[in-house]
Amino acid sequence: MNSVPRCRRGAGSGSGRPARRSSPLLSRPMPIQDPLQMLAQRFRGAIAAAYPQAADADPLITPCKSADMGDFQSNAAMGLAKRVGQKPRDVAAAIVRHADLTGIAEPLTDASIAGPGFINVRLKAAALRDALSSLDSASLGVEPASPAKTIVVDLMGVNLAKQMHVGHLRSPIIGDCLARTFERLGHSVIRQNHVGDWGLPIAMVTARIQQLAREGRIDLAKLTLDDLDTAYKAAQAECQRDVDGLAAAKRFGLGPKALAELEEQVNGATESFNAARQTLVKLQSKEPQTYGVWQRIYEVTMKVCLDVCRMLRVNVTAEHNAGESSYADELGPMVDDLIARGIAVPDQGALIIRLDDPPKGADGKPLWEPIKEPVLVRKSDGGFLYATTDIAGIRRRVQKFGASEGVYAIDARQSLQMKQVFAASIKAGYATHPKTGEIALLAHAAFGAVLGEDGRPFKTRSGESVKLADLIEETFSRAAKAVQSRDAELPASEARAIAEAVGVAALKYGDLSTDRIKDYVFSFDRMLAFEGNTGPYLLYAYVRVRSIFRKAAERGIGESWRRAAFPCEQAAEKQLALALLRYPAAVRGVADSLEPHRLCQYLYDLAGAYSVFFDQCHVLNAESETLRDSRLRLCDLTARVLADGLSVLGIPTVERM
C-alpha cells in the first residue's frame, strides 16, 4: 500500500461503520418450532395479560450466557418496570404468574427470577427434540426471505495496470461472503467488479505501452502485469512532476537557472501529459489501434484478477465486470440531467452537489445525515471525477438492475466519499426504486487495513508489497506443510486440494472472524494454527464429524439413524442441540449487520459444543443402538450446519485433512 490506489476500492483504513440496519425485509419469522420464537410469543402473551397498557413490549428473549442459569431468558421486566411504575422484580413476578409455557419449557416459579428481574427458562427435552427435527431439513432452518430482494454487492475493485497486493484481499473476501449470505437467504444478488479502467492515468499507461511497443522495447503478446505496473508508476511520476513543477513555479520566485531546469522538466512532462490527453480522446472514440492496446492491458490485468478470485474461491468472474469505462458514455448525459434539474450547481468553475441540507422523507426524518462538504461531479476543465462514476453506478444499479439494496465492500478510508455518493444519489433521485418508489438501502461495509505483525502496513522485510497471487500460493504451501506434519494418512492425489482448502480457510477466516471495521494483523502462523479460533480448526471439526461416518460404514452400520430421535438428555447433547438451533439467526445476523464475524463466532461456538459432546458422549460405542443412532443423527446435523456455515463464508470443506 505504497500509494492510495487510483480506484477507491483498493487498500486502506479509516472510518465509517454504517448505521446498523433494522431491515424487516431481511428478517423473517422463524418456523414456529424455534424455541426462541415460541418463547417470545408466550412471553408477549404474558406481558399483554399482566400489563395491557404495555402489550407491545418486546419480550427480549435471548439464550442464556451460562448453562447453569438456564437455556433462555427474558430481559423484559427491567425495561417494563419504568414504563409501568413498578419494581423490576415485581414486574418479573407478574410476568411469571401470567406466563404459560406448557409444551415448551418447565413451568416458571419465583426461583426462575434472578438478579434485578431476569426470568430464566429451561426447555423441555421434547420441545428441543421437535425443534431439532424441524431444523433437520434441506434448508437447515434458513428459509428464503420473502419477498426476495435484488441486492447489488460492490466488491473486488482492481485497477488496470496495477499489481494486486495484500490490500486487495479484503474487499473480495468480505464482499463475496456478504453476497453468499444474501444468496443463502434467497435474495437475488448481483456482484459488481467496479474496475478502475478509465481516465487520464489509464490513458497515460496506454500511451506509454504504445510507445514502448512501437520502439520494440515491449512485446504486446507477452505483456505482463509487472510490465504494466512499471509503466504505470513511470507514467504517474511524469504526471506528478508536471503538477509539482507548475505548483512550485507559481509559488516561488526562482532563479533563472532553476527556472530553466524546471521549465525543461515541466515541458517534458507536459509533452507526455498531452500525449496522454490525446490518447484519452482516441480511447473515447475507440480508435482501433489505441483501443486495442487498452484492451490488451485490460486482458492482462483481468487475467491476474480472476486467477486470484479462483484461487481464493471468490465467486467473481468476467461477467461481474462493470468498469469505469462502461460508464464513460453515461456521465455527460447524467450530469446534464443533474444540471437541468438543479441538483448540481456551478461553483468556482466546477460543478458540485450540495449535501448539507437534506430534504425530509415521508417519515419526517432527513433522507441523509447532513454533509458539510459538497461533492464535485465535474471539474472546471470539464473532466469527471470518481464520484461521478460512482453516482452513475448507483443509477444503473437501482434504475436498470432494480436493486433495492446496495452494499459496498470498500476500504474504510473511503467513508466520506461513500457518504457523499450515497447522499448525492438520493438527492438526484437515482437511488429511488423505479417500481416501489422506495429509496434503496445503501450501505458501506467498510473495512480496516491489513497490517504486518509489526503493526504497520503489511510489507515484506525489504519493504516491497507482496504480489497477491504469491501470497496466496505461499499460504497454500504453508498449509500443505502444516497438514503433512500431522502425518495423517492422506492420499497424495488429495494433498493439493486439501492444502488449498486449508489455505483458503485460513486466509478467509482470518479476515472474516474479526470486526471488519478494525485493522487486522496478517500472520501466516496465527491464521494457519490448527488450534483456536481459526479456519483450519473449523475444517478439522468438520473432518472429525465426517470421520465418524466413515468409521460407521466400515463397521457396517446402516442409515437407520436418519429416522432416530434426537438425544437431549446429557448436558453435552443439550448444549450442542441449543447451539445448532441458533444457526438460522446467525446467518440472518450477518445479513442484517453486514458483519461476517458473527457467523464465524457462531461456528466456532458450534465446533466447541461439538468437541465437548465428542469428548463426553461416545457415538459408535454408545450403550445402545438407539442411543448410537440418535447421536449419529446429531452428528450429521452438526456436520451439515458446519459445512453450510462455512460455505456462506466462502470456505470449501474437505472430508479429510
Residues 37-66, interacting with RNA (CB under 7 A) = 60, 62-65
**3-class DSSP assignment, residue 355:** coil
- Of the candidates 14, 17, 18, which has an alpha carbon nearest to the alpha carbon of residue 413? 14
- Of the candidates 114, 115, 118, which has an alpha carbon nearest to the alpha carbon of residue 43? 118
Q: Cα separation of 206 and 295, whole Å? A: 10
Which residue in 218, 352, 507, 577 binds RNA (CB under 7 A)? 352
Residues 503-532, interacting with RNA (CB under 7 A) = 513-515, 517-521, 526, 529-532
Residues 68-107, interacting with RNA (CB under 7 A) = 69-70, 73, 75, 78-79, 81-82, 88
| Burial degree of 152 (CB within 10 A; 0-12, 13-18, 19+) | buried
Residue 74 contacts by C-beta under 8 Å, 6 or more apart in sequence? 39, 43, 59, 60, 61, 95, 118, 119, 121
Phi–psi pair at 185, nearest 5 degrees: -90, 5
Q: Cα separation of 107 and 109, whole Å? A: 7
**3-class DSSP assignment, residue 181:** helix
Q: Cα separation of 642 and 657, whole Å? A: 16
| Contact region with RNA (CB under 7 A), list: 25-33, 183-191, 277-285, 616-624 | 616-624
State yes or no: residue 2 binds RNA (CB under 7 A): no
Which residue in 104, 483, 538, 578 binds RNA (CB under 7 A)? 483
Least distance between RNA and beta carbon 489 (Å): 9
Binding track over 108-137 against RNA, x by CB under 7 A: ------xxx-x-x-----------------
Residues 547-566, interacting with RNA (CB under 7 A) = 547-548, 551
Whichever of 5 and 406 has its CB closer to RNA, that residue is 5
Whichever of 176 and 573 has its CB closer to RNA, that residue is 573
Q: Cα separation of 133 and 335, whole Å? A: 57
Evaluate whether 364 touches 353 at the Cβ level (below 8 Å): no
Whichever of 48 and 246 has its CB closer to RNA, that residue is 246
Binding track over 373-392 against RNA, x by CB under 7 A: xx-x--xxx-x-xx------
Vertex 283, ends 277 and 284: CA angle to 5°?
Answer: 95
Q: Cα separation of 124 and 112, whole Å? A: 15
State yes or no: residue 595 binds RNA (CB under 7 A): yes
Binding track over 618-657 against RNA, x by CB under 7 A: xxxx----------------------------------xx
Cell of 45: 402473551
Q: Cα separation of 220 and 231, whole Å? A: 13
DSSP 8-class letter at 383: -
Q: Cα separation of 84 and 54, whole Å? A: 8
Residues 5-44, interacting with RNA (CB under 7 A) = 5-8, 12-17, 20
Whichever of 331 and 403 has its CB closer to RNA, that residue is 331
Number of residues that bind RNA (CB under 7 A): 105
Whichever of 261 and 515 has its CB closer to RNA, that residue is 515
Query: How many CB atoms lie under 10 A from the CB of residue 302?
Result: 20
Residue 597: half-sphere exposure toward Cβ, Cα within 13 Å: 13
Whichever of 190 and 374 has its CB closer to RNA, that residue is 374
Least distance between RNA and beta carbon 379 (Å): 3
Whichever of 9 and 403 has its CB closer to RNA, that residue is 9
DSSP 8-class letter at 314: -
State yes or no: residue 319 binds RNA (CB under 7 A): no
Binding track over 243-282 against RNA, x by CB under 7 A: ----------------------------------------
Least distance between RNA and beta carbon 312 (Å): 20
Residues 196-225, interacting with RNA (CB under 7 A) = 196, 198-201
In angstroms, what CA-CA distances link 378 with 130, 292, 348? 62, 28, 11
| Contact region with RNA (CB under 7 A), list: 133-141, 168-176, 194-202, 215-223 | 194-202
- Helix H or strand E segment including 218: none
Least distance between RNA and beta carbon 201 (Å): 5
Least distance between RNA and beta carbon 619 (Å): 4
Residues 394-423, interacting with RNA (CB under 7 A) = 412-413, 415-417
Q: Among all chains, which residue has been given the C-alpha cell 491464521?
A: 527
Whichever of 147 and 382 has its CB closer to RNA, that residue is 382
